[in-house]
Amino acid sequence: MSSKREDFRFSGPLHLIGTVDWKNVRHRAAVAACLVHGVSVVERDRQKQREGSQAFASPWWKSLNFKMVSQLQDDVDSSIFGAIYKFEPPASYSNLSIDGCPYYVIAFRGTLLKRKSFKRDLELDFHILRNTLDTTSRFEIAMRAVRDMVASVGSSNVWLAGHSLGSAIALLVGKTMAKEEYLLASFLFNSPYPSVPIEKIVPEKVHHVFRGAVNVVRAGVALAEKKMSGDSSLAQSAWVPNVFVNTADHISSGYVGYFDHKKKMEEIGVGGIERLATQLSLRGSSEPMHRIPSANLVVNSTRSRDAHGIKRLMHAHGIKRLMHAHGIKQWWSKDLLH
């Protein structure tokens, strides 16, 4: 079963081959998702010692006219967690048909539930919960690779992409580059939102008031800190990543309520409080990694009939549904390309 998930012939978007519309954000996202998945398959090939014709990884980028030019390797467990791809369209492609395409894509995989990489990946997942992912060597490796590429080819020629843990890394890299006024096109799939799911535990009429009260406190502290340390939020607000979530995915679905609340606050004229609150976590003085000023939010609700709570999740079918909701395959589904 795992081999089929890794085999492009069984699980890949065969419908996209030769038909990518680079002006369509869903098509661009589908390609980015395939490149992210390619990183996961590369690591699985390495773990299972699959080489040559036995390896599954290369069709995930070659079928879409990309070349993997380098791999990013974790310095703790030597696992491959990222890759740099270069777009190499056939000579027969016209400039019009590739208008909107990237020159390079830097992609980061998510957590692999496999013995040889799970321990290190889980350790980094806990760093997300503690808002300390920026202190890890994996983030530093990713940051260095992105800075080098941007310095070499320019920020307009580089895309970021990631899923789950890899999405958190891409998000943090994108925010850091935005503060330096480099705005990278970014595709963040099922990015973790490590915060209390207010919408699931508080009635709808109450949760906006609850969020607002918390954010007033955050905004006050953020304003005081800004006066002392300067403000980078203006540059950061110009960065608008593409964020992809599934409403049944409890890991990332918090973004739906988060952006819904921001929109309502803007409508009633108190958006400034929200923008200040974005800069501060009540768990400490560091800026919360998962909060971003704005995004193009894409929500998949087609697999969201998961309304029976924890008891349902304890059932094998519920777990399978949750894994699907958090999985990356949904983002190249033919149903979502239109």
Question: What does the pLDDT read at residue 191?
Answer: 97
Do 241 and 292 contact (CB within 8 A), yes or no?
yes
**Average pLDDT of 250-260?**
93
CATH 3.40.50 fits 2-336, yes or no: yes
* pLDDT at 1 > cutoff 60: no
Q: C-alpha angle with apex 75: 186 to 158, nearest 5 degrees?
A: 20
Look up residue 210 and give its amino acid: F
Domain boundaries along the sequence of the chain: 2-336
* pLDDT at 282 > cutoff 50: no
Confidence of residue 227 (pLDDT cuts 50, 70, 90): very low
Question: What does the pLDDT read at residue 269?
Answer: 63
Tokens of residue 67, six digits: 């070349």
**Average pLDDT of 246-271?**
82
Which of 41-45, 55-59, 244-248, 265-269 is predicted least confidently? 265-269
Tally of CB atoms within 10 A around 63: 18
99-102: long-range pairs with CB below 8 Å, 24+ = 99/22, 99/23, 100/22, 100/23, 100/28, 101/22, 102/157, 102/158, 102/159, 102/185
The helix or strand, by DSSP H or E, that contains position 165, with its residue range, turns out to be helix 165-179
Paired residues of 110 in beta bridges: none
- 79 vs 73: CA distance, rounded Å: 6
Strand order across the beta sheet in which 296-300 lies: 66-73, 80-87, 104-108, 158-163, 185-189, 242-246, 296-300
**Average pLDDT of 174-197?**
92
Q: C-alpha angle with apex 34: 2 to 335, nearest 5 degrees?
A: 95
Q: What share of the chain is helix, strand, coil (3-state, %, to 5)?
A: 50, 15, 35
Do 10 and 4 contact (CB within 8 A), yes or no?
yes
- Measuring CA to CA, which residue among 6, 3, 108, 23 is closest to residue 337? 23
pTM attached to this predicted model: 0.83
Average of per-residue pLDDT values in the chain: 83
* pLDDT at 34 > cutoff 50: yes
The helix or strand, by DSSP H or E, that contains position 81, with its residue range, turns out to be strand 80-87
Percentage, residues of the chain above pLDDT 70: 75
Question: What does the pLDDT read at residue 335?
Answer: 82
Residue range 44-92, pLDDT digits in tens:
999 999 999 999 999 999 999 999 999 999 999 999 999 999 999 988 8
Helix, strand, or coil (residue 48): coil
